[in-house]
A and B are shown apart, each in its own frame.
Chain A
């Protein structure tokens, strides 16, 4: 028989230390799991109800919502239809990322756990506070970002409903997509075959984008009227979901034309990284056409966002 595990001077001391830790762990388990401590940071019902009330009364289309407590989402249960998007990444948000998430001059709601967070986020995100609402123990801040961006004359995700025409062309024939809502054009009975608003991960940041799934052998054409004073195109594209991991390696070919003249042309690379392109828009351009095509449409979950700005 070997000696007991705790025999020997040092072993005995260490054994006693483990015993003490074990007894402490029993108490800590009781205290933490039985006394409500494991649930101590949850939002109370009053705060959740008020968050929803403020949003229901003040939210307008195009606004975005950030919530500081990004794991207790019970307030969602009380929201009206149409109040979205709700972003869960306020802690990592930056002035620029918030500005980029917004479509234009739309507003930002911050749902804060307490008033103490107010200064921190307003300062960090460089916001101009329009209004604050007391919400139980928390606070709702309605603000707009002061991040200096150029004036956007056309924003693809926001303005997809204003497209002049969306159609698939094949050998001279054109088949128009049907506008089914302010944010969606359905191109066939296949549910994935549409052009419309979605969100997607752009280098790890969730952003609004246009879903534009190409079809083998056809060219998807998205035509916009170019607003006055539009001088520069910003165009970002990526494969949504995990399409870039698909075994289908066929690229999506992108062509952007200003009044029939090609101003941008590339084949989307197979990475999860966003392809960012810019191009100068020729003066007096009337129409901007985005053409997308592929030789194999399996898992070509292509999305893009971007805008036209007034930069010359």
Chain B
């Protein structure tokens, strides 16, 4: 892993084109994506944050500055959804506060999703820079496009959740660490630690990063660094530790603490509660080749196989090629720092998958929980393809670049169809290696996740429902939750007079979100409504995902 290119004038243009294009693609299609279960909680937490900003303004104008920092005041706004750190929720709230409450130019849910689109753009920028510095300008330009042409990625990029932001933070932290290995500049190490504080403030996944990186550094220290001058002694060991690790203690932790006001009070107990929640996280039932994965031990193959079948095949080839590249770099590099950098890239790419693969780790849902390292291996893989193609073409550099660009353009064109088909339900995408959506349904893989898939049915509901009609939304069965429903109404997706209920018996309409484990709800609806004939069905490639029913008795 060596620096190959500098950032030049043209890179301003290319990076801006890529980032703005991704931002627009995500933000302008925001209304087409339904609200997942978690999103309802985070948007509501964003509302609390917007209230907090309001209250800060009020307290300051009242001259009651100290009140902002009282336990009562912070608990009032930060206790909701306290199982997750607040950074993204603070941003959702800030966006709601500015664009919805103050400027009134968009709804609160749209404002929260604006933050998601910004993070998608930042991710595109990160991939561009990673590609540029470590590979080539062509790889830098192509990789973000291929990355967002994975239906799962495209789908999650829309959501006001933590998954894409933590993907950004995860991959960027590994890239920054590699940069830290190559430079002794204190400012770079300090900035990396500062950046990491916000990563910790986003989601707990990144707490593994210092652990795995430090263990790997220890390994390299034991076998190599300690032999270097001055590093072999007891004090030398401490001097050898990269500064970024020290800064993670003296910068990351205080900043993390600072951006999470709830932790200012009862700190130890609250941190323990936070750790306990994730340490004892419930398992979400997943169907895996017809087997419901209810309780551990879970199959080690699960996330690997899911990655294999849920990534479009061109990007999948790039994943393998990328890992090959890092492994080759690890094995062939002569300098230890080069080896460590390559090893960090392997870790960054594969550790998230490996972690979920451990039989004792609960399965939290779909691939979003382990896709955090995808940008690293994809970008390296694109470079391998680029290099290999150029070697085959015996012509001028310009023509080589043109030919390779044509190859990647063809790739992007080939990916348009699956991306359009699954634009609204990227979480349900399976590639041709398992025969697409039909093959996955036939082999009884988990068909969909998180109850979001109501958007195709909303038009029919809005048209058919009488005033104040009630709709059963399957909250108890991992369907839509009340918050998400409310925000869909606020975003104008569902008529505001329609009420959501969790009790089928009192409903006039029923939303049925298919998951194998919820199959029986179809017949429950039939018994209650007197019919199994749907008013509307949402499907892709004839595979049924959700349906809307109307009471007929």
Residue of B nearest to A72 (CB): B542
- Is B387 in contact with chain A by the CB < 8 A criterion? yes
- Is B464 in contact with chain A by the CB < 8 A criterion? no
Interchain CB contact under 8 A, A34 and B417: yes
- Is B122 in contact with chain A by the CB < 8 A criterion? no
Question: Taking beta carbons and an 8 Å cutoff, which residues of B are in contact with A?
Answer: 1-2, 4, 290, 292, 312-314, 316-318, 320-321, 324-325, 328-329, 332-333, 338, 380-381, 383-385, 387-389, 391-392, 407, 410-411, 414-415, 417-418, 421, 432, 435-438, 441-442, 447, 476-477, 503, 505-506, 517, 519-520, 522-524, 526-528, 530-534, 537, 539, 541-544, 547, 552-553
Interchain CB contact under 8 A, A85 and B441: no
User: A residues within 8 A CB of B519?
Assistant: 88-89, 206
User: A residues within 8 A CB of B524?
Assistant: 198-200
Residue of A nearest to B334 (CB): A2
Which one of B312, B415, B505, B552 lies within 8 Å of A194 (CB-CB)? B505
Interchain CB contact under 8 A, A42 and B542: yes
Complex-state Cα separation, A19 to B321, whole angstroms:
9
Residue of B nearest to A181 (CB): B553
Interchain CB contact under 8 A, A206 and B520: yes
Which one of B332, B414, B505, B532 lies within 8 Å of A26 (CB-CB)? B414
User: Which 3 pairs show the lowest CB-CB distances between chains A and B?
Assistant: A42-B542, A15-B388, A84-B526
Q: Is the interface of B mostly helix, strand, loop or mixed?
A: helix
Q: Is the interface of A mostly helix, strand, loop or mixed?
A: mixed
Size bracket of the A interface: 35 or more
Interchain CB contact under 8 A, A2 and B532: no
Residue of B nearest to A87 (CB): B523
Interchain CB contact under 8 A, A85 and B532: yes
Q: Chain A 52-93, CB within 8 Å of chain B: the 1/0 string?
A: 000000000000000000111110111111111111110010
Q: Chain A 91-106, CB within 8 Å of chain B: the 1/0 string?
A: 0100000000000000
Interchain CB contact under 8 A, A6 and B531: no
- Is A30 in contact with chain B by the CB < 8 A criterion? yes
Interchain CB contact under 8 A, B526 and A85: yes
Complex-state Cα separation, A11 to B541, whole angstroms:
40
Contact A201 B520, CB 8 Å, known A71-B544, A86-B526, A242-B476:
yes
User: A residues within 8 A CB of B533?
Assistant: 76-81, 83
Interchain CB contact under 8 A, B383 and A5: yes
User: A residues within 8 A CB of B316?
Assistant: 25
Which one of B317, B436, B477, B542 lies within 8 Å of A25 (CB-CB)? B317
Complex-state Cα separation, A2 to B421, whole angstroms:
42
Q: Chain A 1-23, CB within 8 Å of chain B: the 1/0 string?
A: 11111101001101110110111
Complex-state Cα separation, A26 to B2, whole angstroms:
30
Complex-state Cα separation, A80 to B526, whole angstroms:
12
Interchain CB contact under 8 A, B441 and A33: no
User: B residues within 8 A CB of A1?
Assistant: 2, 4
Interchain CB contact under 8 A, A43 and B417: no
CB distance from A74 to the nearest CB of B (A): 7
Complex-state Cα separation, A4 to B388, whole angstroms:
10
Contact A25 B328, CB 8 Å, known A33-B417, A199-B527:
no
CB distance from A166 to the nearest CB of B (A): 16
CB distance from B280 to the nearest CB of A (A): 14
Complex-state Cα separation, A39 to B544, whole angstroms:
12
Complex-state Cα separation, A248 to B523, whole angstroms:
27
Interchain CB contact under 8 A, B421 and A22: no
User: A residues within 8 A CB of B338?
Assistant: 2
Complex-state Cα separation, A88 to B332, whole angstroms:
54
- Is A133 in contact with chain B by the CB < 8 A criterion? no
Interchain CB contact under 8 A, A29 and B415: yes
Which one of B324, B421, B527 lies within 8 Å of A85 (CB-CB)? B527
Complex-state Cα separation, A73 to B380, whole angstroms:
42
